[in-house]
Amino acid sequence: MNSTKTTLPVKEKFILPEGMIYLDGNSLGPLPKGAAARVHTMMTDEWGAHLIKGWNVDEWMAQPMRVGNLVGQLIGAPDGSVTMGDTLSIKVYQALSAALKMRPDRRVILSDSGNFPSDLYMAQGLIQQLGQGYELRIVAPEDVVDAMDDTVAVAMITQVDYRSGRLHDMAQVTQAAHAAGAVMLWDLAHTAGALPVDVSASNCEFAVGCTYKYLNGGPGAPAFIYARADVAADMQPALAGWLGHDAPFAFELDYRPAPGIERMRVGTPPVLQLAALEEAMTVWEGVDMADLRAASIRLSDLFIAGVERACPELTLVSPRDGAMRGSQVSFAFENGYAAMQALIARDVIGDFRAPNIMRFGFTPLYIDEGDVERAVEILSEVMKNRLWDQSQYQRKSAVT
Ligand SMILES: *Cc1c(COP(=O)(O)O)cnc(C)c1O
């Protein structure tokens, strides 16, 4: 983000429990060192000391746009084109409904079977609400480009597959959508903070994502939404909340949207979560995204080679070519849930996605080659000793 380049990793910027190898930053990023103090100060010196005055003197009301600009710098979005709030599912709903309004004579939402279920569920809920013959068309990820036709109102695609890590080519898919006359909506949940991305250059109309994964904003951190400037200027918000109004404190009886992306704000911003996230965004200072990407591929390749050497029972389900992958590596194994529990018990933290996927995220901000080698070693012990066969690892928790 600034001119002095940082050498990776930057482990010292995070609180990481001693001895833990954390390969789950794709699901929940670790605690950035300054975040707890920032939230504490916010609570005592702002909320505690100023109470309601904080909205003005501490500029809480400007926070969603201020933090939006920081996220914008990581995703190639100009200042003033990103705002923060709610959860990603809500932002998907907002972007999708605004996109459909832009193509009133079309009825198809195109997505793929690798998309995260919540995105598909939000589309299904919206369709139920709209009636009028709307349809969600789900194709295989490799068929997305060919499926673009003149019935498609909006292509709603998540760039990195949460299970396999397979990566969509943003430029190619966006061009195909536009060539078919469709609106392009990207979900960057597993992209933002993981790989270089430039929403402006892609020319997509909308992009959304969450900030508790690679952006380390903490559990429940607010989502982001971007709209291209020309689109933001006249999109119609489905959730017409008061803070997306042009003049919230005029308390008019009728909704009038704020001028640009701010109309995608809904209600009161999550001030404490935004304070944590704002601090978390400082870890990116000096980080070169091309360096980060190169390190991510190097670490992932090292892991794949090690696991394939030591654990023949596991089958790679991620693309072998690093350029075709996000920042995670997944292996299929029929006892994957129990094997992951055994691994977690040994302080190597990944996660499990049904039916049989063991998922490992590689975030070069705090993972290095020594961590990868150690993780391979411990995983090979789990496999060699059939630790997954032990009953204590087979009990299912609510969150996998
Ligand atoms: C993580 C993720 C979500 C989660 O949505 P929330 O509303 O933040 O719980 C949604 N979509 C995708 C693609 C994700 O990866």
Domain match, 216 and 352 both: no
Q: What is the pLDDT of residue 3?
A: 59
Tokens of 135: 């349809």
Query: Are 279 and 292 part of one and the same domain?
Result: no
Q: Tell whether 105 is covered by a domain.
A: yes
Whether residue 375 has its Cβ less than 6 Å from ligand 1: no
Domain boundary among 284, 316, 347: 284
Residue 398 lies in a domain: no
CA distance 99 to 236: 9
Atom of ligand 1 nearest to the CA of 115: 13
Length of the chain counted residue by residue = 400
> Does residue 317 lie in a domain region?
yes
Looking at residue 132, its pLDDT comes to 94
For residues 78 and 204, state if they share a domain: yes
pLDDT digits (tens, 9 = 90+) for 361-400: 999 999 999 999 999 999 999 999 999 999 999 888 888 8
* CATH number for the domain that contains residue 381: 3.90.1150.10
Is 107 a catalytic site residue?
A: no
Whether residue 204 sits in one domain with residue 60: yes
Q: 199 is in which domain, residue-wise?
A: 39-284
The amino acid that residue 250 corresponds to is: A
The Cα 221–Cα 68 span in angstroms is 13
Ligand 1 site, residue 224, Cβ cutoff 6 A: no
pLDDT at 232: 98
Within-domain flag for 302? yes
Please state, in angstroms and rounded to a whole number, the distance separating the CA atoms of residues 389 and 111: 38
Q: Is residue 57 part of a domain?
A: yes
| Atom 12, ligand 1: residue with shortest CA distance | 116
pLDDT tens-digit map of 21-44: 999 999 999 999 999 999 999 999
Count of the separate structural domains present in the chain: 2
162 lines ligand 1 (CB under 6 A): yes
Nearest-CA residue for ligand 1 atom 8 is: 88
Residue 44 C-alpha to ligand 1 middle, in angstroms?
32
CB 88 near ligand 1, within 6 Å: yes
> How crowded is residue 270: how many other Cβ atoms within 10 Å of its Cβ?
19
The verdict on the CB of residue 28 being under 6 Å from ligand 1 is: no
> Which is the catalytic residue, given 33, 161, 359, 366?
359
Q: Are 235 and 241 in contact (CB under 8 A)?
A: no
Same domain, 261 and 342: no
Q: Which residues pair with 110 in a beta bridge?
A: 137, 155
| Residue 137 resides in a domain | yes
Q: Which amino acid is at 381?
A: E
The CA-based diameter of the chain, rounded to the nearest angstrom, is: 68
The active-site residue out of 116, 162, 226, 303 is 116
The preferred substitution site among 27, 28, 188, 210 for testing ligand 1, maximizing ligand atoms within 8 Å of CB, is 210
Do 110 and 202 reside in the same domain of the chain? yes
**Catalytic annotation present for 14:** no
Domain boundary among 284, 309, 324: 284
- The C-alpha atoms of residue 73 and residue 71 are separated, in whole angstroms, by 5
For residues 305 and 308, give the distance between their C-alpha atoms in angstroms, rounded to a whole number: 5
Task: Flag residues of the chain having pLDDT under 70.
Answer: 1-3
Residue 374 domain-assigned (yes or no) = yes
Assessment of whether the complete model's pTM goes beyond 0.85: yes
Question: Both 209 and 350 in a single domain?
Answer: no
Among 238, 264, 284, the domain-final residue is 284
Residues 187 and 320 in one domain: no
Q: Is 74 helix (H, G, I), strand (E, B) or coil?
A: helix
- CATH number, domain with residue 134: 3.40.640.10
The reply to whether 310 and 258 lie within a common domain is: no
- Residue 117 shares a structural domain with residue 251: yes
Q: Is residue 4 situated within a structural domain?
A: no
pLDDT at 211: 98
Task: Verify that 374 and 337 share a domain, yes or no.
Answer: yes
Residues 222 and 257 in one domain: yes
